[in-house]
Every structure is written in structure tokens, then in C-alpha cells.
């Protein structure tokens, strides 16, 4: 998913931090990637396929259904759960870590869900081609915490990511953030409202209690085992 910038001189320079692939994939996971990924990947996201950054045809992709976006779906359990629970919605999942993509594809086969698209790359490339005010709900669940102070600028909750997210979300749409890192909560609360989002919490339980349709992810289970407290923040795009 990485291409020579000289081939596309208008492509913005974007540093990417984090792993793209783990040490190995299981043979079954290699099969999922080879057999299933292309059919689930929306066209015109990569620069080679769409150097002019033409908007995705979301109506063609999902038949006019409301569209949700999950940013960094990890192992994919939440994404598959939401697809199965909301067949009247189309969901786009973006994840650059190919091992996580392979895990998701296995879960898709098992669950038999079809109302989704998978982009195995940087969500910023997806933001380039999503039409303005086209997304009805977005999820940022247990993102990479980048705990060192000098790395906080790598977090998702920075202007580089929040500005295009705000552009593609519809007014009145919901943006959910879950994290077990207190300083990530701090940065989220400082940064997100600056981009036309309103925090919905009115009492402590509103950010201590998960959403009614929540399914606990493997990242959350790890946090709980290590005695870290999950936080659940809900914002509305104004």
C-alpha cells in the first residue's frame, strides 16, 4: 500500500508510525488475504488506482445504506459484531496492520457478514476519497497509545486526523472513542472539541460505562487483566 511519491507529485507527505506486519502469518491467514481481501477492498483508495482522488461511490458500495467507519479495527471482533447487529448499515474498516486484517477476514468467513468493506492501509488515504459529510458514525477503539510524551503527536487525536474526520462526518453523527490510557483521555478531551464535536457526557457513568451495543475487544480484555480502567467517550459532530 506504499507507493513512490515521485509517481504522484501531488501526494502529501505523511509519516506512518507503527507496525505493518507481524513476524508471521498462519497459512490459513495467508489464504484469507489471497482469496478474500480484493473482493472486500473499496476501489479508488490507493494513489495508484486513483491519483486524482475521486470520491468513493458509497451508494454503489453499500446500496444507499448509512455508512459507518471504524478506524483501526485491531482483530476485527467489534467490526464483525456491528456488521452482524446492523445489517441495514454498511461499515468501512481501516487497519494498516496486515495481521489484524487477516484475523478480521477469518472472522468474516465465520460470521458470514457481507455489509462491510476493508481497507488494509492508513485511514488518511480513506479520508482523501470519502465524500464530505458522508459518514454516519465513526469508531476509534483502543488506538495505539504512543505513551512517550515525544510521541503524542503520533496519536490519532491530533489535527492531522481530526480535521479530515470532521469533514467526512455528517452533522449530528456520532464519534466513539474507547481507551484505557488516562493521558489519551486528556488529549482526546482537549483536541476533539476543537473540531466541531460536542462531548455528550453529563455524569461520570456516561464515560465509565460502555455503550449498549458494545462488545469487549481483546485489547480491552488485556487492559482489564492489567488493572487499567476503560474510558468510553461519545462525541456528536455539530
Q: Which of 79, 159, 89, 59 is nearest to 119 (CA)?
A: 79
Task: Show the 3-state SS of 5-37.
Answer: HHHCCCCCCCCCCCCCCCCCCCHHHHHHHHHHH
Half-sphere CA count of 20, side-chain side, radius 13 A: 7
Q: Which of 219, 66, 45 is nearest to 120 (CA)?
A: 45
Listed in sequence order, the residues at least 6 apart from 2 whose beta carbon sits closer than 8 Å to its beta carbon are 16
CA distance 34 to 28: 10
* Marked catalytic residue, from 36, 38, 144, 213: 144
CA-to-CA separations, 216 to 49, 148, 150, 233, in angstroms, rounded: 36, 26, 30, 15
Q: Does the annotation mark 36 as catalytic?
A: no
Helix-strand-coil percent breakdown of the chain, rounded to 5?
40, 20, 45
CA distance 5 to 125: 13
Catalytic residues: 144
Amino acid at each position: 500500500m506504499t507507493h513512490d511519491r515521485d509517481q504522484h507529485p501531488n501526494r502529501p507527505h505523511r509519516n506512518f508510525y507503527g507496525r505493518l506486519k507481524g513476524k508471521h502469518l498462519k497459512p490459513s491467514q495467508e489464504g484469507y488475504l489471497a482469496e478474500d481481501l480484493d473482493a472486500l477492498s473499496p476501489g479508488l483508495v490507493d494513489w495508484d488506482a486513483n491519483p486524482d482522488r475521486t470520491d468513493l461511490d458509497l451508494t454503489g458500495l453499500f446500496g444507499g445504506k448509512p455508512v459507518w467507519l471504524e478506524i483501526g479495527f485491531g482483530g476485527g471482533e467489534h467490526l464483525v459484531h456491528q456488521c452482524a447487529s446492523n445489517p441495514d448499515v454498511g461499515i468501512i474498516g481501516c487497519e494498516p496492520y496486515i495481521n489484524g486484517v487477516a484475523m478480521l477476514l477469518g472472522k468474516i468467513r465465520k460470521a458470514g457478514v457481507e455489509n462491510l468493506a476493508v481497507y488494509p492501509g492508513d485511514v488518511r488515504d480513506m479520508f482523501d476519497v470519502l465524500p464530505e459529510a458522508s459518514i454516519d458514525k465513526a469508531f476509534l477503539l483502543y488506538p495505539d497509545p504512543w505513551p512517550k510524551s515525544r510521541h503524542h503527536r503520533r496519536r490519532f487525536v491530533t489535527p492531522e486526523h481530526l480535521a479530515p474526520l470532521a469533514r467526512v462526518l455528517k452533522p449530528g453523527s456520532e464519534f466513539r472513542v474507547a481507551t484505557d490510557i488516562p493521558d489519551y483521555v486528556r488529549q482526546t478531551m482537549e483536541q476533539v472539541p476543537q473540531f466541531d464535536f460536542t462531548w455528550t457526557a453529563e455524569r461520570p457513568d456516561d464515560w465509565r460505562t460502555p455503550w449498549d451495543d458494545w462488545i469487549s475487544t481483546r485489547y480491552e480484555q488485556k487492559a482489564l487483566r492489567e488493572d487499567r480502567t476503560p474510558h468510553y467517550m461519545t462525541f456528536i459532530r455539530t
